[in-house]
């Protein structure tokens, strides 16, 4: 097999065979196929796309490039969840323990911050003592024991993705739906769950800004997962304004704890119930969505979800007392009120700008290996639809006091807010549900 | 400037600026831009194409990457000629001395064999003693002295093209009209002539098999050359069957000598007159095409062109006696008649298959650095439109007697011939002339 022939075939719009895709992935990982040929091939894929069969073959070839997590020793249907990334998206911190408390088995592998969005691994690491970099044996053991674990993806899981992503990042071939879908799904499949619920974000704060792209990505991932014999459901949800009020690391853990105690922001609670009901449904724990939503609601009221989070923190080496006393989480040096320069109603909050403001303030990394200051973040006081007076706080910045960060962060943050005369409704949160039966429109 | 941003802009269909293109070419040649990013960019160019301005900027950046030939010390308008490559295309060997004998100044840089076609350098090197690898000072000196020189392109001329071509060849990005056009034109512009006549071949034996592609390539090259302040004319001519009767090296030199003596095949003579008249016209030597064709015809009759070839051979170290005694050229060990298996009329000869048969017989290189056996080749006895009887010779193979080459060459050669019942006309030789005024259809 000649790789240049293979590039030519893809360039000319032909479908690559399973053997050809295996050759491409293995050859690249093993170094037989040089970067420059892989780069040309990836760009040809960018332009020509991939068929459903090619996407499945690519995903499976990537899965086979590394370690797999074997959850088969755990009885019952294991379920995973993935979000394509949003600002203030602490959903997993609420959802995973809540679904486990409701009878599901949640084996969740997750990543660090990417672009303008935070990462669940970074958020969890703000809990004193909490270990997220688990060996896969430990991960399996925790799931087995308490029916929930959240662990960082290891580099040994899908090394092909790691190599390909690094190359894509330098060759403008990241924004390709087949490549994104196979990258996400290869990691989900290697992580060993039986069911996968995907939260595909769309809007100004999401990687897929256009609904049509989010829908195509969702459908591609469902096809890949179902093609691999898994149960997969994708929700397409809004990421116009940030989710909830907290953006950062410790600050988001605190909001997750509040939510599990029954004091959560409405959008986050709604999202947790919708995603959670899908997780319970595909796990076979419940037989109807209403039943699922009832159980989840009850487990918030009774604080069983919060207790499960405590168990999870303890099982992974953290201080479980934070669930009763969030003051144990890292606290910022100073709080700064960011005040509105005009009166009116909040018409729009650009989630992307808020995410970037939070990074500028210090809640992100400057370089890949830098540690994060977990105490830094932004707490919103106003969301879309809220009335605001001139001089009233739009948000509180949790800061380390460094003015070189505060001023530009403030500028970026204020830029995110559109304040007008007319009261607007909060934006729609749910767009659609995609599963093997097709697309269901959600109101 | 970030190269990944530049790749993204081209990927998304934006036009690259002159600065960006300079950055890309210089960065690549100097090794600041790695192969994999250049490969992705080339593939994006393959899909998105390049505007006329981008093509000019790319060509000039490539020209500036290396040495240039300075012909400014030679008085009068210097003219170059380039063919995109065909089978049996010995046109330059006839045209260059004939145009020089007719008052033109021909400074021609040329290449070696490529794919299924032969190279002028290889053909000339079959003349005993002939030097084609000339230092550029020697090239200028010969042109100055006898108004014609034919030299091999040196690696110092347009190194960017050399590097880019090597990468394109391994990444399926050769077949891109803007990249082909800038590759050819950068070498022509660096070679220093004031006018350039291009012979763009189309048909089964050409690199541009479709007329539309040949036309686009011709127009792009004319735009580039005129954009750089040169006079450029392109003829689009047929490469369905081989040109003339001889395919090989010494055998083509012999046919070129015959043609200069007045015994040339009609298609070659017609092509030489048409291209030659354009060369004389853009040089300002003549004021009308008729006048040009008259002069060229006369210089064949009077053998002034042949004498000029003798001067050229002598000036470049060769034995000029070959023009009177072609028996001094390398002679094959044996001649083999290849006979027709049926009677009828030759309807078609696939030039590509004939070219490949000649390579199989031994007239080409197996690897880049292997020497060629100049004595080997194919002499056609029948061309399209000719009557043929079963058992009559279709061609004579000039062979080294190696049966392992002869049999597969014969098979490939016979495959090239379509013999039918009805007499067909020889195929149209001229399609169109393209210059800065547009496209002129030729009958």
Using alpha carbons, select from B82, B135, B86, B129 the residue that is nearest to residue B108: B82
Instruction: Point out the residue among A4, A36, A172 whose CB comes nearest to the CB of B11.
Output: A172
Annotation says B82 is catalytic:
yes
SS (H, E, C) chain A: CCHHHHHHHHHCCCCCCHHHHHHHHHHHHHCCCCHHHHHHHHHHHHHHCCCHHHHHHHHHHHHCCCECCCCCCCCCCEEEEEECCCCCCCHHHHHHHHHHHCCCEEEEEECCCECCECCHHHHHCCCCCCCCCCCHHHHHHHHHHHCEEEEECCCCECHHHHHHHHHHHHCCCCCCHHHHHHHHHHHHHHCCCCEEEEEEEECCCCCECCHHHHHHHHHHHHHHHHHCCCEEEEEEEECCCCCCCEEECHHHHHHHHHHHCCCCCHHHHHHHHHHHHHHHHHHCCCCCHHHHHHHHHHHHHCCHHHHHHHHHHHHCCCCHHHHCCHHHCCCCCEEEEEECCCCEEEEEECHHHHHHHHHHHHHCCCCCCCCCCCCCEEEECCCCCCEECCCCEEEEEEECCCHHHHHHHHHHHHHHEEEECCCCCCCCCEEEEEECCEEEECC
Cβ within 8 Å, pair B39-A44: no
Which pLDDT does position A231 carry in this prediction? 97
Distance of alpha carbon B180 from alpha carbon B159, whole angstroms: 15
Across the range A239-257, mean pLDDT stands at 97
Which pLDDT does position B153 carry in this prediction? 85
Cβ within 8 Å, pair B46-A11: yes
Residues of B in contact with A5 (CB under 8 A): 172
Whether residue A119 is predicted with pLDDT greater than 90 in this model: the reply is no
- Band (A307; pLDDT cuts 50, 70, 90): very high
What part of B 47-106 touches A (C-beta under 8 Å)? 47
- Between the alpha carbon of residue A386 and those of residues A346, A354, A420, the distances in Å are 6, 17, 11
Beta bridge partners of A346: A419
Residues of B in contact with A163 (CB under 8 A): none
Is the alpha carbon torsion for A368, A374, A377, A381 positive or negative? positive
Is B13 part of the contact surface with chain A (CB cutoff 8 Å)? no
Distance of alpha carbon B25 from alpha carbon A138, whole angstroms: 51
What SS3 class is residue B382?
Answer: coil
Distance of alpha carbon A356 from alpha carbon B57, whole angstroms: 37
Check: CB of residue B53 under 8 Å from CB of residue B16. no
- Band (A198; pLDDT cuts 50, 70, 90): very high
Is B328 part of the contact surface with chain A (CB cutoff 8 Å)? no
Check: CB of residue B383 under 8 Å from CB of residue B345. no
Strands (E), B41-115: 78-83, 105-110
* Residue range A338-372, pLDDT digits in tens: 999 999 999 999 999 999 999 999 998 877 677 88
Residues of B in contact with A40 (CB under 8 A): 39-40, 42-43, 171-173
Distance of alpha carbon B300 from alpha carbon B308, whole angstroms: 11
Options B162, B168, B273, B352, the catalytic residue: B168
Cβ within 8 Å, pair A171-B46: no
Distance of CA A392 to the CA centre of its chain: 32
Other C-beta atoms closer than 10 Å to the C-beta of A297 total 16
Q: Which residues are CB-neighbours of A212 under 8 A, at least 6 positions away?
A: none
Check: CB of residue A155 under 8 Å from CB of residue A65. no
Instruction: Point out the residue among A35, A40, A170 whose CB comes nearest to the CB of B4.
Output: A170
The chain A residue lying nearest B48, using CA atoms, is A47
Which pLDDT does position B156 carry in this prediction? 82
Whether residue A136 is predicted with pLDDT greater than 90 in this model: the reply is no
Please provide the distance, in angstroms rounded to a whole number, between the alpha carbons at the two ends of chain B.
50
Check: CB of residue A79 under 8 Å from CB of residue A254. no
Distance of alpha carbon A88 from alpha carbon A251, whole angstroms: 10
Cβ within 8 Å, pair A35-B34: yes
Annotation says B410 is catalytic:
no
Using alpha carbons, select from B88, B153, B82, B152 the residue that is nearest to residue B118: B88
Question: Residues of CATH 1.20.970.10 domain(s) within chain A?
Answer: 3-63
Preferred mutation among A172, A175, A179 to probe B, highest tally of B CBs within 10 A: A172
Q: Hey, what CATH topology would domain A3-63 get?
A: 1.20.970
pLDDT (tens, 9 = 90+) of chain B, 443 residues, equals 789 999 999 999 999 999 999 999 999 999 999 999 999 999 999 999 999 999 999 999 999 999 999 999 898 999 999 999 899 999 999 999 999 999 999 999 887 777 777 789 999 999 999 999 999 899 999 999 999 999 998 778 899 999 999 999 999 999 999 999 999 999 999 999 999 999 999 999 999 999 999 999 999 999 999 999 999 999 999 999 999 999 999 999 999 999 999 999 999 999 999 999 999 999 999 999 999 999 999 999 999 999 999 999 999 999 999 999 999 999 999 999 999 999 999 999 999 999 999 999 999 887 767 788 999 999 999 999 999 999 999 999 999 999 999 999 999 999 999 999 999 998 899 999 999 999 999 97
Is B27 part of the contact surface with chain A (CB cutoff 8 Å)? no
Beta bridge partners of B248: B377
Q: Hey, what CATH topology would domain B78-154+168-325+430-441 get?
A: Pyrimidine Nucleoside Phosphorylase; Chain A, domain 2 (3.40.1030)
Is B174 part of the contact surface with chain A (CB cutoff 8 Å)? no
- Between the alpha carbon of residue A36 and those of residues A4, A39, A40, A159, the distances in Å are 11, 5, 6, 19
Using alpha carbons, select from B313, B311, B260, B307 the residue that is nearest to residue B128: B313
Q: Which residues are CB-neighbours of A118 under 8 A, at least 6 positions away?
A: A87, A88, A89, A247, A248, A249, A252, A355, A358, A363, A364
The chain B residue lying nearest A167, using CA atoms, is B36
Distance of alpha carbon A126 from alpha carbon A246, whole angstroms: 14
Residues of A in contact with B173 (CB under 8 A): 40
What SS3 class is residue B273?
Answer: helix
Distance of alpha carbon A260 from alpha carbon A98, whole angstroms: 8
Which pLDDT does position A308 carry in this prediction? 98
Cβ within 8 Å, pair A39-B36: yes
What SS3 class is residue B344?
Answer: strand
H or E element in which residue B308 lies: helix B304-315
Torsion over CA of B107, B112, B113 and B119, rounded to 10 degrees?
A: 30
The DSSP code for B322 is G
Instruction: Point out the residue among B7, B34, B42 whose CB comes nearest to the CB of A172.
Output: B7
Beta bridge partners of B309: none
Cβ within 8 Å, pair B40-A7: no
Check: CB of residue B355 under 8 Å from CB of residue B87. yes
In angstroms and rounded to an integer, the radius of gyration of the C-alpha atoms of chain B is 22
What SS3 class is residue B313?
Answer: helix
Question: Residues of CATH 3.90.1170.30 domain(s) within chain B?
Answer: 334-420
Q: Looking at the domain covering B334-420, what would its CATH class be? A: alpha beta
Distance of alpha carbon A441 from alpha carbon A443, whole angstroms: 7
Options B57, B80, B122, B161, the catalytic residue: B161
A303: left (phi > 0), else alpha (psi -120 to 50), else beta? left
Across the range A82-99, mean pLDDT stands at 95
Other C-beta atoms closer than 10 Å to the C-beta of A401 total 11
What SS3 class is residue B328?
Answer: helix
What SS3 class is residue B379?
Answer: strand
Preferred mutation among B16, B39, B44, B176 to probe A, highest tally of A CBs within 10 A: B39
Torsion over CA of A405, A406, A410 and A411, rounded to 10 degrees?
A: -50
> How many helices (H) does chain B have, and how many strands (E)?
16, 14
Cβ within 8 Å, pair B35-A38: no
Q: State phi, psi for B430 to the nearest 5 degrees.
A: -110, 135
Check: CB of residue B181 under 8 Å from CB of residue B198. no
Residues of B in contact with A170 (CB under 8 A): 4, 36-37
- Prediction pTM value: 0.89
Residues of A in contact with B4 (CB under 8 A): 169-172
Check: CB of residue B56 under 8 Å from CB of residue B228. yes
Nearest-CA distance A171 → chain B (Å):
5
The chain A residue lying nearest B170, using CA atoms, is A4
Check: CB of residue A197 under 8 Å from CB of residue A277. no
The DSSP code for B165 is H
Q: State phi, psi for A427 to the nearest 5 degrees.
A: -65, 155
* Residue range A410-441, pLDDT digits in tens: 999 999 999 999 999 988 999 999 999 999 99
Instruction: Point out the residue among B8, B11, B171 whose CB comes nearest to the CB of A7.
Output: B171
Q: Which residues are CB-neighbours of B10 under 8 A, at least 6 positions away?
A: B16, B41, B44, B45, B48
Residues of A known to be catalytic: 82, 161, 168, 183, 187
Options B10, B48, B81, B82, the catalytic residue: B82
- Between the alpha carbon of residue A366 and those of residues A85, A354, A410, A412, the distances in Å are 19, 17, 18, 17
The chain B residue lying nearest A48, using CA atoms, is B47
Distance of alpha carbon A56 from alpha carbon A374, whole angstroms: 38
The chain B residue lying nearest A36, using CA atoms, is B36
Residues of B in contact with A46 (CB under 8 A): 11
């Amino acid at each position: 097999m000649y790789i240049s022939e293979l590039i030519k075939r893809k360039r000319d719009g032909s479908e690559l065979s399973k053997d050809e895709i295996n050759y491409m992935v293995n050859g690249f990982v093993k170094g037989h196929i040089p970067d420059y040929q892989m780069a040309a091939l990836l760009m040809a894929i960018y332009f020509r796309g991939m068929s459903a069969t090619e996407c499945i073959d690519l995903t499976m070839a990537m899965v086979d490039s590394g370690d797999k997590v074997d959850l088969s020793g755990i009885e019952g249907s294991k379920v995973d969840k993935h979000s394509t990334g949003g600002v203030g998206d602490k959903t997993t911190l609420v959802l995973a323990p809540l679904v486990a408390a409701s009878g599901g088995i949640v084996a969740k592998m997750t990543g660090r911050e990417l672009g303008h969005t935070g990462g669940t691994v970074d958020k969890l690491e703000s809990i004193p003592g909490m270990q997220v970099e688990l060996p896969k044996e430990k991960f399996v053991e925790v799931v087995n024991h308490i029916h929930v674990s959240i662990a960082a993806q290891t580099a040994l899981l899908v090394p092909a993705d790691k190599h390909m992503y690094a190359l894509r990042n330098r060759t403008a071939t990241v924004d390709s739906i087949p490549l994104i879908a196979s990258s996400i799904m290869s990691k989900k499949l290697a992580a060993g769950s039986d069911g996968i619920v995907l939260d595909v974000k769309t809007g100004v704060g999401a990687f897929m800004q256009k609904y049509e792209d989010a829908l195509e990505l969702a459908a591609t991932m469902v096809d890949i997962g179902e093609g691999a014999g898994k149960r997969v459901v994708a929700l397409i949800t809004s990421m116009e304004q940030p989710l909830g009020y907290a953006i950062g690391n410790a600050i988001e853990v605190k909001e997750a704890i509040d939510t599990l105690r029954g004091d959560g922001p409405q959008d986050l609670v709604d999202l947790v119930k919708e995603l959670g009901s899908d997780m319970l449904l595909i796990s076979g724990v419940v037989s109807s969505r209403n039943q699922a939503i009832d159980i989840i609601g009850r487990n918030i009221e009774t604080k069983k979800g919060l207790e499960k989070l405590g168990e999870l923190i303890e099982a992974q080496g953290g201080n479980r007392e934070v669930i009763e006393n969030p003051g144990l989480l890292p606290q910022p040096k100073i709080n700064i009120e960011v005040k509105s320069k005009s009166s009116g109603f909040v018409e729009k909050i650009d989630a992307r700008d808020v995410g970037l403001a939070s990074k500028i303030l210090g809640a992100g990394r400057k370089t890949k290996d830098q540690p994060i200051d977990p105490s830094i973040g932004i707490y919103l006081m106003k969301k879309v639809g809220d009335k605001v007076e001139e001089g009233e706080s739009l948000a509180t910045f949790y800061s380390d006091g460094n003015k070189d960060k505060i001023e530009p962060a403030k500028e970026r943050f204020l830029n995110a807010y559109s304040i007008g005369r007319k009261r607007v409704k909060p934006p729609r949160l749910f767009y659609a549900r995609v599963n093997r039966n097709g697309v269901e429109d959600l109101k």
